[in-house]
Chains A and B, each alone.
Chain A
Amino acid sequence: MFALKSSTRSAHRLARSFATVVDSAGYKVASFDANQPTSSVTFLVKGGSRFETKPGVAHALKNFAFKSSAGRSAIGSIREAELYGGVLSASLTREHLALTAEFLRGDEDFFVKLLTEFVQSPKFAPWEWAEYVTPVVEADTAAAAADPATTALELAHTLAFRNGLGASLFAPAHNDITSTDIAAFASSAFSDVAVLGTGIDQTTLSELVKKYSKKAPASSTVSSPASTYFGGETRVAAHGPDTVFIGFGATGSSSHNLAALSAYLSPEPHVKWSEGVSALASQIPEGTSVKPVYLPYSDAALVGFLIQGNDIKTAGSAVVAALKKAASGVSAEEFTRASAKARFAAASSIESREGFVNVLGSKVLATSEPSASAFLKPFDAVTSSSVSQAAASILKSKPTFIAIGDLATIPYADEIGL
């Protein structure tokens, strides 16, 4: 009886405290506490590659995270965080830069102070850029260039959106970025900060942020042109598995139809070591993999397939045929399955820490309520006809076709029916 009562009470508290946005000293604070044993605090800023002022500045800033600030040195931050058993990390997407600290409950005071200090008074010393950050940036770029799947997606964004979202996540291998460029970009990016906590009480977090933020954020902000979809074809000779990306872009914020379309066409199995159930799965030859790609952004989306393996031609033709079939109609039974799959993927994506930050963080930055139900609600409006309409409309636009690998064998876009 008691157990039941306490559990319903905590459920009620959870429902109420699922991330309400509070403005604390110019920072938008949102937090939810699901009684996890560890906490995390993320400072999310509009510092993604689409906002960068010079190619690669966003990537450089990401790797500059937790270097010396007015309050502490780079080695001091790392060693002290180690003593607390915490993990400091930075992650970059095309739209946002997230600086995250994960730590045991009770250590929030130290970690919020560390994050606030870095956001408020980073030093960006030229020698830290030369001695510590440049090698990491170069290694990241080299690793990305060695992976055909990553290269394909980077090229796909460039061809699909050109500037803005088309900017690469990785700095060019030979760049002329200076620490002054990074400092200038950071000061405009850090002008609008969302503080997202998990496993930490909302009031505690906003009080800590208020306590440690000594000055209001700068007033200059970042900007990026509205996305336009272009599309195009490119072929790059490379070693490694033959890789092809076939994709289409759509502009506008609502892309739930595309999410459902991607789930509908996805040949990925629901059970490990089995074949997928979609019509496409049975037509993919052995030794070739087809992965659905669905990347939504605030004002555009890129949807497509990443095909890797020996028999690109058969797999690619099957994918294009499946897409054309979807454009002419989706059966009710298959639609139900795809809709449930897309909805589950979306719902489970906001459950993890990274998902909470990636998906709901942008809502917090826009000071709108980041609720899970509002995020999932648009899926109710998705119908089988709207999915096939979405397929038909993307097929009308110019495809984005990237081929990486042995160019003598990889077919051209028109040879697989695009």
Chain B
Amino acid sequence: MFGPLGFSLAPQIRASRTLSKWFLPFSKWYTDRMGYRKFGLKYDDLLVEEREDVQRALGRLTQEQSYDRAFRMKRSIQSNVLRKELPKEEWLPESQDVRYLKPHVLEVAKEDTERAYWDNLSVQRQK
């Protein structure tokens, strides 16, 4: 599975100073090459949203966040129609590419895991 719940080595790389020193320039270059910032999108706009948990997470955004998300989507679709990147001053700067949705997706996943735990709990009498 892709997205925030998928398998990732990022925490291990981030934990090691040497590894992050090697990988950081590469990851920056790679993120930039992905090109979504040239269409004014944030990384979390690319999350697969046709999933129940991501849908619930989307419902937890603040009004302002959902409005901005819809705006970015519209703008990028328009650029796609025009087969053209946005003008350079409208590209998303790296500083604004924050994970606004990921914490909510993780929270929802945690809730689902907890529900599954309580649903499948086997209770033992205390001795």
Contact = CB atoms under 8 A, between A and B. Distances in A.
Interface of A: 73, 75-76, 79, 83, 126-127, 130-131
Main secondary structure of the interface of A (DSSP, over half): helix
20 contacts: A73-B111, A73-B114, A75-B111, A75-B114, A75-B115, A75-B118, A76-B114, A76-B118, A79-B118, A79-B121, A83-B123, A126-B60, A126-B62, A127-B59, A127-B60, A127-B104, A130-B59, A130-B60, A131-B56, A131-B59
Interface residues of B, number: 11
A260 B59 CA distance: 55
A127 B123 CA distance: 31
A90 B62 CA distance: 29
Main secondary structure of the interface of B (DSSP, over half): helix
B63 to A, nearest CB: 10
Interface string B83-98: 0000000000000000
A75 B104 CA distance: 18
Contacts of A76: 114, 118
Given A75-B114, A75-B115, 18 more contacts: A73-B111, A73-B114, A75-B111, A75-B118, A76-B114, A76-B118, A79-B118, A79-B121, A83-B123, A126-B60, A126-B62, A127-B59, A127-B60, A127-B104, A130-B59, A130-B60, A131-B56, A131-B59
Interface in B65-95: none
B21 to A, nearest CB: 37
Contacts of B114: 73, 75-76
Contacts of B115: 75
Contacts of B111: 73, 75
B74 to A, nearest CB: 24
Contacts of B104: 127
